[in-house]
Amino acid sequence: MEDRIRGGVWGLLIGDALGVPYEWLEPEAIPPWDEIEMEPPEGISRMHAVPPGTWSDDGAQALCLLESLLTCGRFDPADFAARLVAWHDEGLWTVDGRAFGIGRQTAMAIRALKNGTDPDQAGFVLPEGKGNGALMRVLPLALWHRGDDASLVADAHRQARVTHGHVTNQVCCALYCLWARRMLDGRAPSEAFQDAVARLYELYEAGSAYRRSLDEEVRPHEPPVTNGDGYVVHTLHAARLALREASYEGAVKRTIQLGRDTDTNAAVAGGLAGIAFGESRIPGSWRGCLRGSERVEPLIERLVEWRLRA
């Protein structure tokens, strides 16, 4: 269990950092499999001028969520929202003290929070927004949570609503958390996913907006389809494809080869792959060049202690 918990956090951060140099490249511009590294090959046009091994907004927001959960002992939307504002304005949990890679809807929601909007409503500033900005950070909730499935789903919904309120964002976050929870228990990714889907159908009332979104948009019973962009359903489906691989390295590289939103897709897939294969099977070279690791380790130790004493 400890190896899987630690693998989840490191897997998310390393996937994020590995994807940063290739963000928004078209698939044909992504280097060959064996050349995808933290330090990209020469000639790669980089969107962000940051040193190799730097996590982006995905990792920083995930760490904000984890710290909030460990500090409050519950999901507290106001505390989490305050940490997101501190990330945006002051660089909280960034590697170099500066937030980068901020999505349009996240920026709008943070502006609303600073203007006094309730955290449970801030994510509706773009009512039809279905970006992956809440899914990319939600994994710590599943790693930390000791309540039942219904309470985990409710908290997954609430954390999404802070910046991404559309019901489809909430559903994707809930399904992802249930999937991660079952993998933490040692189930294989495919079995864990199918069981998570079945449980979500039990929790969502027939005819509800949540059930309609699950049926009509997420479509978990159909083969995964994605083009690597930032649409939340495509990101969830990218993780489904990635978890067919037989290693952590294979999962994140397969995701990056999709192109486009490479850092977020690799963070989302990498967190789950980190659970599936454990910290011990994440390549040491990637773990060793992740910047800021020394700041994260105490937070992970607190998380492990919290879960293992349950």
Over 90: is that where the pLDDT of 100 sits?
Answer: yes
**CA-based nearest residue to 145, from 191, 183, 178, 192:** 178
Q: State the pLDDT at residue 259.
A: 98
Whether this prediction's pTM lies above 0.95 is answered by yes
pLDDT tens per residue, range 172-230: 999 999 999 999 999 999 999 999 999 999 999 999 999 999 999 999 999 999 999 99
Over 90: is that where the pLDDT of 11 sits?
Answer: yes
Q: Give the span between the Cα atoms of 52 and 37, in whole angstroms.
A: 9
CA distances from 38 to 35, 62, 134, 263 (A): 9, 20, 24, 11
Q: Give the span between the Cα atoms of 97 and 102, in whole angstroms.
A: 14
Residue 44: what are its φ and ψ, rounded to 5°? Answer: -75, 125
CA distances from 115 to 118, 146, 162 (A): 9, 33, 14
Alpha helices in the chain (DSSP H): 2-19, 57-72, 77-90, 104-114, 139-144, 149-161, 167-184, 189-203, 209-213, 232-242, 248-256, 262-277, 284-288, 293-308
Q: Give the span between the Cα atoms of 171 and 176, in whole angstroms.
A: 8
Q: What one-character DSSP code corresponds to residue 297?
A: H
Q: Give the span between the Cα atoms of 270 and 278, in whole angstroms.
A: 11
**CA-based nearest residue to 263, from 14, 78, 1:** 14
Q: Using pLDDT thresholds of 50, 70 and 90, give the confidence band for residue 13.
A: very high
Q: Give the span between the Cα atoms of 96 and 216, in whole angstroms.
A: 41
Q: State the pLDDT at residue 310.
A: 66
pLDDT tens per residue, range 228-247: 999 999 999 999 999 999 99
Q: Using pLDDT thresholds of 50, 70 and 90, give the confidence band for residue 50.
A: very high
Q: State the pLDDT at residue 105.
A: 97
Average pLDDT in the chain: 97
Residue 209: what are its φ and ψ, rounded to 5°? Answer: -60, -35
**CA-based nearest residue to 267, from 33, 8, 25:** 8
| Interval 258-265 mean pLDDT | 98
- The domains of the chain are located at 2-308
Taking every pair of Cα atoms in the chain, the longest distance, rounded to a whole number of angstroms, is 53
Over 80: is that where the pLDDT of 77 sits?
Answer: yes
The CATH superfamily assigned to 2-308 is ADP-ribosylation/Crystallin J1 (1.10.4080.10)
| Interval 13-29 mean pLDDT | 97
pLDDT tens per residue, range 127-164: 999 999 999 999 999 999 999 999 999 999 999 999 99
Q: Using pLDDT thresholds of 50, 70 and 90, give the confidence band for residue 166.
A: very high
Q: What tokens were used for 156?
A: 């997954």
